[in-house]
A and B are shown apart, each in its own frame.
Chain A
Amino acid sequence: MTVLNAVIQGIMLGGFYALLATGLSLIFGVMRIINLAHGSLAVLGAFLAWWVVDKTGISPFLALIPALVVMFGVGYALQLGMLERSLRSGPLIPLLTTFGLAVVVDNALLGVFTPDVRSLGGPAGKVTIASWAITDQIAVSAIGMLILGVAAAVLLGLHFFLARTGMGRSMRATAQDPDTAELVGVDSRAVYARAVGIATATAALAGFFLAVRAVVEPSSGPTQLIFAFEAVVIGGFGSLWGTLVGGLILGVAQTLGALVDPHYANLGGHLVFLAVLAFRGRGIFEARGVST
């Protein structure tokens, strides 16, 4: 029974990881680079929402809206100001610049917001404590279901965007071959900037839910990057549905690890990740380009 409970909690935790990993997967799918600042940007988004709540006292769910808009803009500007130039300088430079950005964001948050942990759990109200008891030992928390639902909705929305809309088509075309896409009139600069903007906004959304569900601190970024990356690798790079499955597997691995010993939660996830690397070499749904 406790194992079943751990699996259920793990699936809901996995919804969070899937949401966190979506942006990382999208940027890799479109631009073939890994944004090492992804976790730090998620935490930046969370702090932005926290700051708005702290200043205005409005509901965190309302504060989320300006935070997402700003973070989309941050991503857009990041692409035009830094990543575009990095991409032209070969495969190493984007890794080094995004790593540098992570260092800058983490320490700027530390300098501005002090090392204290922050939570949006209180201001978010009842949703963070409500739960449904299924049996005596198994309860499903409202916030867990909400995050899982939002993750599924974001992935579904992104799937629809890429598969059905003109912008999505040009994004997939650019992912496959930017030069040819340019020939038929796609503005690949704008496409890349939009992709990074969307990815950064989804990262901020995940960071927001981290703050609602638990706590964030300025040093949370690197850990979140690692979790997002593990979810993406377990699921398979470049596949959005793989990202969902990878997130769920990671969540379950962590809750099962925690069952052995609370300290082993993260270790459980790391070991599943290493096992996937060792036995498959690539994830479950490996794909080229942005597959939907």
Chain B
Amino acid sequence: MGTAPVGGVRPNVQRWTRLSRAFVGSVVGVAVLLAFVPVTLSANVTQKLTAFFILVMLATMWNALAGYGGLVSVGQQAYIGIGAYGTVWLAHQGVSPYPAMMLATLFSGVVAVVFSFLLLRLRGGQFAIATWVVAEVFRVVVSLDKGLGAGTGISLIELNRYDLAQRQAYTYWLTLFCAVALMAALFVLLRSRLGASLQAIRDDEDAAASVGVRVLWGKRVLYVFAGLGCGAVGATMLANTLFIQPNSVFGVNWMAFAIFMVLVGGLGTIEGPVIGAAALFLIQDWFSDLGVWYLIGLGVVAILFALLLPRGVWGTIEGRFGIQLMPVGYRVRGLLKREGRGASATEGGDPPRPADAEDQQAAEK
């Protein structure tokens, strides 16, 4: 199926623009430069950036579920905890700590496969709370396990074999690698055929199913991907803080932070969660001494964004200026221009929120 000529003009379907090419290229460049941080900048910067990458991963994974699959989870802390406690357990079995983190991350993905069969029967709020119950089950089971430190927590003592600078550098590189790999994987996933069907599912599950989209498969891929990613969040968080406690690792505060970052940055955009993570990172730096009032502020800001600016900072910018830095959709150009309409309508293009994934599919072939 080719692109049908409209009014005798063959429209130009494109994905990349000069801007988006330049941007993605510079992102790759920045990622390469970031790899040199531990050997060039101070330990303090290294550790803070590690914490920032962890927030980016958390926001990206939550956004993958909610922004692209329409699945609001308030239970991703289950996988954060499995990533962290899995690492501790493996290290106790004699696995070297950093490989243990990677293995625990993969294990989180496996657990997500199992629970996807249970949870994906549910939609909306039912899915949301059911994910939370699963996280609670893991919290209770871990707090009763004396081998894992029970309720009082446990530290990853195996990391003591590295000296401080070495440990910080390794943890930094692992976190950077995980964050970049997860974002790249999401980008590729969304540009694939599956990405278009996922967005169709998000916009209207029943309509998507009626035109042959494999709804359950698409959701499962996302859910497992997010489970794996949150496992990486847990493992790297453990490496960065060295100590974990079931009540905080399996705590719902993670989801409060994730929702804040994604709502502020922009639900359903690749760039938004990074902006949200940067915002939360700065706010934590400035205000976290305020304790409960800081959390109240986060909650209020998240509510206000949801009500007044539901597309977040980046979604609003994208919509207003028609730019897309990380292109996952398509744009059709050259249609209206040749018919003598204003160029702005074509150059700007539609806001990139791909409501009509079907058209994109058609355009792809």
Q: Which residues of A contact B (CB under 8 A)?
A: 28, 32-34, 36, 82, 85-86, 89, 91-97, 99-104, 107-108, 110-111, 222, 225-226, 229-230, 233, 237, 263, 266-267, 270-271, 273-274, 277-278, 281
Contact = CB atoms under 8 A, between A and B. Distances in A.
B141 to A, nearest CB: 7
Given A34-B128, A91-B124, A95-B124, A107 B306 contact: no
Given A100-B259, A277-B118, A226 B129 contact: yes
Interface stretch (B130-138, B224-232, B236-244): B130-138
B292 A110 contact: yes
A277 B121 contact: yes
A222 B310 contact: no
Interface residues of B, number: 41
Main secondary structure of the interface of A (DSSP, over half): helix
B261 interface: no
Contacts, number: 119
Contact of A36 (B70, B122, B129, B140): B129
Nearest to B253: A103
A145 to B, nearest CB: 29
Q: Lowest 10 CB-CB distances: which A-B pairs, in order? A: A34-B125, A103-B299, A104-B299, A100-B303, A111-B292, A107-B292, A100-B302, A107-B295, A229-B129, A100-B299
Contact of A82 (B252, B302, B303): B303
Nearest to A33: B125
Contacts of A103: 256, 295-296, 298-299, 302
B50 to A, nearest CB: 25
Nearest to A280: B121
Given A111-B292, A111-B293, A226-B133, A267 B141 contact: yes
Given A91-B124, A100-B300, A274-B118, A86 B129 contact: no
Contact of B306 (A89, A91, A273): A89
A107 B140 contact: no
Contacts of A271: 137
Contacts of B295: 103, 107
B128 A270 contact: no
Given A100-B299, A102-B299, A104-B303, 7 more contacts: A36-B128, A91-B124, A93-B306, A107-B293, A226-B129, A277-B118, A277-B119
A92 B299 contact: no
B144 interface: yes
A82 B252 CA distance: 22
B326 interface: no
A225 B129 contact: yes
B66 interface: yes
B128 A263 contact: no
A233 to B, nearest CB: 7
B357 interface: no
Contacts of B118: 274, 277-278
A75 B219 CA distance: 34
A237 B296 CA distance: 31
B112 interface: no
Contacts of A270: 133, 136-137, 140
A230 B307 contact: no
Given A222-B252, A226-B136, A97 B306 contact: yes
A266 B259 contact: no
B125 A28 contact: yes
B72 interface: yes
Contact of A86 (B263, B292, B307): B307
